[in-house]
A and B are shown apart, each in its own frame.
Chain A
Amino acid sequence: MTIKYESQKIAQNFYTFAVLLFLVQVVVGIIAALQFMWPDFFILNFNIIRSLHINAMVVWLLVGMMGATYYVVSEESDTELWSVPMANFQFWATVLTVTLVVLGYIWMGINPQANSTTLFSTGILNEGREYIEAPRWADILIVVSVLLFLFNNFMTVLKTKKWTGIQGTLLGGLTVLALMYLPGMFYTKNMVKDQFWWWWVVHLWVEGAWEIIAGALLAFMLMKTTGVKREVVEKWMYVEVGLVMFTGILGTGHHYYWIGTPSYWLWVGGIFSSLEPVPLLVMVWDAFRTTRETRVVTNKAGLYYTVAHAIFNFVGAGLWGVIHTLPQVNKWTHGTQITTAHGHLAFYGAYVLLVLAMIYITLPAIRGVKEFNASRAFQSFWWMTISMIFIVLTITGAGMVQTYMERLMGLDYVAVKANYNLWFWILRAIFGVGFLYGVVIFVIDYFKLGKEPAPIAAPAPEKA
């Protein structure tokens, strides 16, 4: 694959920032894992470290998707981006905002009193709500950045009016993403309302808009790596994202069981959220059916990541989620490590692998190479994936012990965490280092891709 339009190269800025933040996320994650065993060992408390870990994650995934979008829209619309200067400005504005927010968190970590709540009724450095800790002024800057991003891409499509299913769904998903950031941007005195609207952002993001984006990009990636016909891949894309919405919108109710909202949500949320894995299973079937019919694959690494994304999206988001979505189970597991286990595998499968796959599929074209040595790509893939599987297994084990001993038996929270679950924390930190090793290989690969001599001979066509 080669790029048709120079402006597609703007994706690279976004990818680079994303890759660096990914590295930061994982380093900080290891600090957090160590704090489970030694809470006082670092200069910043766990809550600041955790904020850095999850904010770095959300930002790098978003920025990665932005890069991928700039690339895809230009190609699908058959034209240069409407405004490269605007894209550059949007990029640097995002980098600046994120840097300021991070510095703000660190400052608040060192001096909690600096987080004054006189402006906006919320903290000037940290809003004190998980995932959306970014203060209101940063929220506004993020909204501006996303609006510029959407505007630029929509104007690009309007240049040629070439609406394809893929880019229509992609931009539609991104628009819903942008709209769903807004419910987190007001203060309410009622903590129940606070959490209700918070879940509009988080659930309708990761179990809504983001899965639509994933569905659209999966179709794009399958098309590019296997040569499958657009009509086929787009039809199944519509089926998948349709099922995501039909199950996921009312599936939001599985966050409304125990937070002070009426009990009918146990029925609505329980039934619809149990069906949420179905579209993800269709995506797995779609990926395998498509790749089975392929004869020649130039970008093996790209295809690997694409199929892996479909599999782990289903296993992490789908299976690990559905095991504790029923109210009868969730009553005991709500707020335990079971949730964290699900979160880690879900994000890795649904979104980390998605952005990495898009990078491996689009970066060679941006760097001007048709083939590249994929050995580092495969190495990092296995180090990361196997480490993450084991990380998730340790957290799941810890969650089962916690559910049994703390929730069912009534033992003390601190005692269970510090004594019975200690070995899970030790193993998790070890596997975290394994994951970091994989990330480091990937970062090296990212910067070196396309800049080394090409492989000696092209492999013979695959006999499938």
Chain B
Amino acid sequence: MSNKAARNLFIYGSLFFFAIFIVLTIDTMGKLDKRAPAITEEVNAGKMVWHKYDCIGCHTILGNGSYFAPDMTKIAEKKPKDYLKQFLMDPKSVNPKASMPKLGISSQEADNLIAFLDWISKVDTNGWPPKPILATAAGIAGKELSAGQKVYQTQNCSNCHMINGIGGTTGPELTHVGSKRDKAWLIGHFKDPKAYVPNSAMPAYGYLSEEELNNLTDYMVSLK
């Protein structure tokens, strides 16, 4: 092959593949609206908050970004909105161990940002992120769960709390909570967290039946 032929192959071949790329791009652009919810003013305002504080400088979203803080794609599904709002406005007041700085995010900005994160959580990402193979259970494999453990699972407590190394670091660890709190405190706290822990962002669980609350509390008390 002569140099001129090689050069022409390079130039025309590149243009050929670029043309295919353009066609696929146009097709993709046309399909995007159907793959996500409608973008409201609030969602867009939230996106602008995301950019203003350069959240992607620490976090990832849709898996892209800086690999320093957790991915935000499904955060609006995993954490209660009230928790997110409180955390965004003053992280360490909610979780003293949080590394996230206090950036001066206003109440309005927080609301908008949460609307944006809610939108992101509903984008069709071809199934990303995949569900973990080992479920985030309460660390007891192969045995029949107790009544209290079942409540713990159905309420998804491990999204925020850790027992025996499994679960989240958002809220306090519960591995030895039975040595710290008694039954009365625990039931009162489940019904109204803020009355027992100032600045708490934990949702209230008073809607559970008396039986469920008792079983859950018995489980907590057993964690010595």
Pairing of A with B? yes
A residues within 8 Å of B by Cβ?
35-36, 39-40, 45-48, 50-51, 108, 112-113, 115-117, 121-123, 126-130, 133, 165, 189-196, 198, 231, 234-235, 238-239, 241-242, 245-246, 249-250, 252-253, 256-266, 268, 331-332, 334-337, 339-340, 407-415
Question: In the assembled complex, which residues on chain A have CB atoms less than 8 Å from the CB atom of B133?
Answer: 408-410
Q: Is the CB of B51 within 8 A of A245?
A: no
In contact, A51 and B54 (Cβ under 8 angstroms): yes
What residue in chain A is nearest B16 (Cβ atoms)? A246
Give every chain B residue within 8 A of A250 (Cβ-Cβ).
Answer: 17, 20-21, 24
Task: Return chain B residues, CB-CB under 8 Å to A264.
Answer: 24
Which secondary structure dominates chain A's binding surface? Answer: helix
Asked if B162 and A47 make an inter-chain contact with CB atoms under 8 angstroms apart, the answer reads no
Cβ-closest chain B residue relative to A194: B47
- B residues less than 8 Å from A117 (CB atoms): 48, 51-52
The answer to whether B57 and A51 touch across the interface, beta carbons within 8 angstroms, is: yes
Closest Cβ–Cβ distance, residue A414 to chain B (whole Å): 4
Task: Knowing A117-B52, A335-B67 are in contact, say whether A246-B58 is a contact too (CB < 8 A).
Answer: no
A259 to chain B: which residues have CB within 8 Å? 62-64, 125
- Structural contact, A190 and B35, CB atoms closer than 8 A: no
Q: How far is the CB of A247 from chain B (nearest CB, A)?
A: 9
Segment 33-67 of B: residues with Cβ below 8 Å from A: 35-36, 39, 43-44, 47-48, 50-58, 60-67
9 contacts between A and B (CB under 8 A): A192-B62, A196-B28, A238-B9, A249-B18, A257-B128, A259-B64, A262-B31, A336-B67, A414-B169
Q: Does B3 contact A (CB under 8 A)?
A: yes
Contact A415 B123 (CB under 8 A): no
Query: A195-B62, A335-B60 are known contacts; what are 15 more A-B pairs with Cβ within 8 Å?
Result: A45-B58, A112-B52, A129-B51, A189-B47, A191-B116, A196-B25, A238-B6, A238-B7, A239-B6, A239-B10, A265-B28, A331-B127, A334-B128, A335-B65, A410-B132
Collect the chain A residues with CB atoms within 8 Å of residue B43's CB.
189
Is the beta-carbon distance between B14 and A112 smaller than 8 angstroms?
A: no
Contact with A along B149-172 (1 / 0, CB 8 A): 000000000000010011111000
Chain B residues closer than 8 Å to A234, beta-carbon distance = 3
Q: B142 near A: Cβ within 8 Å?
A: no
B96 in contact (CB, < 8 A) = no
- Asked whether any CB of chain A lies closer than 8 Å to the CB of B124, the reply is yes
Identify which of B81-89, B98-106, B183-191, B202-210 touches chain A: B98-106
A238-B9, A245-B17, A250-B20 known; A193+B32 contact, CB < 8 A: yes
**With A51-B57, A412-B169 in contact, is A192–B35 under 8 Å at CB?**
yes
What B residues does A231 contact at CB under 8 A?
3
CA distance A234 to B5 in the complex (A): 12
Question: Within 8 Å CB of B63, what residues of A?
Answer: 258-259, 334-335
A69 to B178, CA, bound (A): 69
- In angstroms, how far is the closest chain B Cβ from the Cβ of A57? 14
Q: Which residues of A have CB within 8 Å of B52?
A: 112, 115-117, 123, 128
Which residues of the other chain, A, contact B53 by a CB distance below 8 angstroms?
A: 112, 115, 128
Considering the chains assembled together, what is the distance between the CA atoms of A261 and B3 in angstroms?
39
CB <8 Å contact, A46 and B39: no
B80 at the binding interface (Cβ < 8 Å): no
Interface residues in B108-124 (C-beta closer than 8 Å to A): 116, 119-120, 123-124
Contacts A231-B3, A238-B10: A113 and B104 contacting too (C-beta < 8 A)? yes
B17 touches A249 (CB 8 A): yes
**Contacting B14 at CB < 8 Å: which of A245, A257, A262, A410?**
A245
Q: How far is the CB of A43 from chain B (nearest CB, A)?
A: 11
The CA of A412 and the CA of B62, in the complex, are separated in Å by 18
Instruction: Please give the distance in Å from A424's CB to the nearest CB on chain B.
Output: 12
